[in-house]
C-alpha cells in the first residue's frame, strides 16, 4: 500500500557558526515536521 508522504531534500551552505543547524531546526518545528521537545 503506497503512502502519500512527500520528501524534500534541502542543502544549507554557510560558514561555520552562522546558525545553519539552528535555522533548519526552527524550520522543522514551524512546519510541524518535529516537536519542540
Give residue-wise pLDDT tens across range 1-37: 667 778 888 899 999 999 999 999 999 999 888 887 7
Give residue 1's pLDDT: 60
Give residue 26's pLDDT: 93
Contacts of 20-23 spanning 24+ positions with Cβ under 8 A: none
Look at the pTM and tell me if it is higher than 0.85. no
Q: Which three cell numbers stand for residue 4?
A: 502519500
Instruction: Quote the CA–CA distance of 1 and 13 in Å, as a whole number.
Output: 37
Give the C-alpha distances (Å, rounded to integers) separating 14 from 3, 7, 8, 30, 31. Answer: 34, 23, 20, 21, 22
Amino acid at each position: 500500500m503506497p503512502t502519500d508522504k512527500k520528501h524534500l531534500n534541502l542543502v544549507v551552505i554557510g560558514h561555520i557558526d552562522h546558525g545553519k543547524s539552528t535555522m533548519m531546526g526552527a524550520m522543522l518545528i514551524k512546519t510541524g515536521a518535529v516537536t519542540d521537545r
